[in-house]
Structure 1
Amino acid sequence: MAKNTSFIPCIGSVLWDFVGRHPHAMRLGDDRPGRITRQTGGVAMNVAATLVRFGARPTVLTCIGTDPNGEDLMAACREKGVDTSLVLRRADLPTDRYMAVEGANGLIAAIADAHSLEKAGGDILAPFRDGRLASAEAPYRGAVVLDGNLPETLLAEIAEDPIFAAADLRIVPASPGKAQRLRPFLSAPNATLYINREEAGLLYDTEFRSSAEAAAALAANGCARVLVTDGARPATDASPDQVLTAHPPIVEQRCVTGAGDTFMASHIAAEAAGHKRSFALEAALQAAATFVSGQDIA
């Protein structure tokens, strides 16, 4: 299959986000007034929806139930311009959900109920094996987004699968608790990791003082490429032959859930458009900052 820079498969979680937001700082155990919203979510979906806004043509590979929540979710994905033709539908599995509580000081707590994606496992990858996207005779070429919500065993299989050997793998752990799932990709020559400073530390069982220190350590230990963010502090893009660091814009924090996915999608879109690494990093930081501030990134 010929490489296509605008068509991007996004593999992983597509679910409903239930997010409660309070406009002031919160502590664990606080009971405060606010707003609760339901919106499309999941790393694969968030990245795909942002890619659409930058002119790409993403398709999501995931598992969505045939329950009413699933039907609503499929319709919502299509309304955002995200292709769902390759989604695995399962009547025996409920549609996944995510619940978060946020304050002005960031994320207070969250629970991801992605058990259906876990149970579906490798079945969601059928289009890469049956000729719809690729096959054993025609490995996939082009960018592929991988979400750390995928089962650990499946991620390990993808890292070794010849079908993905020629792909440009763009990988994000989804949360610090799932960072260690990315270890099979630390030495993959075609993998780019998108992680934060905490997740980098979890991968190496250490604590890094900055994104630059974390990214340089990963690159020195065999990582082909890694982008490390650190909230409002500088972010770093590192490979064995180049290290770039940039400062994110200073904005008032209003939205947190999905900011990292916006950074990743914006960066992929910038590089797919042919921009240099330095420009792509700056563009991704600007898009993420705009998202965090509660403004429209379009």
Structure 2
Amino acid sequence: MTPDILCIGSVLWDIIGRSPTAMRLGADVPGRITRLPGGVAMNIAMTLRRFGMTPALLTAIGRDAEGEELTHSCERLGLVTAHVYRSDDLPTDRYMAIEGANGLIAAVADAHSLEAAGEKILRPLADGRLGTEAAPWSGPIALDGNLTEALLAEIAVSSLFSAADLRVAPASPGKAGRLLPLLTHPSATLYVNLEEANILARSDCASAADAAEALLDRGAGRVLVTNGGEPAAEGTRDRGVIEGHPPPVLVTRVTGAGDTFMAAHLVAERRGADRQTALDEALRAAATYVSGDIGA
């Protein structure tokens, strides 16, 4: 298959424990534990595929048993794995989270193999398989913040990304600062939640709209800021900030919601939707996801 979008970043096993009860530190409660293909790049790719696009993954996956199973799962989902860096000596990455009725309780992301692989995952962009420095990839790229700060800084100035429609998402608030080199990239659209926006903008905004303004003031070209069930915002340089209101739903899961929002927004824009329509469609898709009405 020929891809029409590249998803660069973490592809791993999500191990999620969910309980229908509110949880506190040290809680020991009944619930369900699932293991599913996950990671920011993977979650975005799966949503894009559901919307009819053909994503290719640029990531690192081990050649261990977990890596073989994960690769086959990606292929069964219709994702292009031909350009994945397969390592003989790095284990397949994993993510573990606990979610309760009161939201995400705690999570640990083990993306050390992706970080160790470094620029090796980008080789198809330079060796002719997906592009070269003289003729770089010119389609959309979804990039996540699980890459190292050094590699993200290289991407920010690399000619391999100069023609791309770059869509960027942090992996978590703890890694949001890694995206600072990409904040002012001329073709980058940043997708962040309110906490991540305040980290990048070095602000203390209480609303998504104010945070979007703060990011534009810091030199961003285009940003989308979500805030759970509160209004979200899209800000574009010289075009101002608009708001959208998420539909009220019963939240049954949170891991992957931001990735679904980003993918749905990108797809809406590629269909020709205007700013407000694209924002509203992305919010509806994320609400549907967190309510559990569609599969993971």
Q: Tell me the TM-score range normalised by the shorter chain.
A: over 0.9
**1 CA distance for matches of 2:81 and 2:145?**
20
Alignment partner, residue 178 of structure 1: 175
Q: Secondary structure at the match of 1:218?
A: helix
**1 CA distance for matches of 2:61 and 2:160?**
24
Alignment partner, residue 287 of structure 1: 285
Are 1:201 and 1:207, in contact at CA under 8 Å, matched by a contact in 2?
A: yes
The answer for unaligned runs of 5 or more in structure 1 is: none
Alignment partner, residue 257 of structure 2: 259
Alignment partner, residue 92 of structure 1: 89
Alignment partner, residue 120 of structure 1: 117
| CA positional deviation for 1:206 | 2.5
- 1:78 is aligned, of 71, 75, 80, to 75
- Cα deviation, 1:266-292, whole Å, max 9, x if unaligned, reads 011111111111111001000000000
- 2:233 is aligned, of 194, 216, 236, to 236
**1 CA distance for matches of 2:78 and 2:270?**
18
Supply the AA of the counterpart residue of 2:208: S
Point out 4+ residue stretches in structure 1 off by more than 2 angstroms. Answer: none
- Cα deviation, 1:65-87, whole Å, max 9, x if unaligned, reads 00000000001111111111110
Alignment partner, residue 28 of structure 2: 31
TM-score, structure 1 normalization? 0.97
**2 CA distance for matches of 1:50 and 1:68?**
25
- Cα deviation, 1:181-211, whole Å, max 9, x if unaligned, reads 1101111110000000000111133211100
Please list, as runs of the form range in 1=range in 2, the aligned pairs for 1:1-298 lying within 5 A after superposition. 7-240=4-237, 241-296=239-294
Supply the AA of the counterpart residue of 2:150: T
**1 CA distance for matches of 2:273 and 2:240?**
16
Are 1:287 and 1:297, in contact at CA under 8 Å, matched by a contact in 2?
A: no
| CA positional deviation for 1:220 | 2.4
Supply the AA of the counterpart residue of 2:129: R
Aligned residues: 294
Are 2:125 and 2:137, in contact at CA under 8 Å, matched by a contact in 1?
A: yes
Are 1:12 and 1:117, in contact at CA under 8 Å, matched by a contact in 2?
A: yes
Are 2:18 and 2:100, in contact at CA under 8 Å, matched by a contact in 1?
A: yes
| CA positional deviation for 1:297 | 7.0
Supply the AA of the counterpart residue of 2:189: T
Q: Give the aligned CA root-mean-square deviation in angstroms.
A: 1.3
| CA positional deviation for 1:152 | 0.8
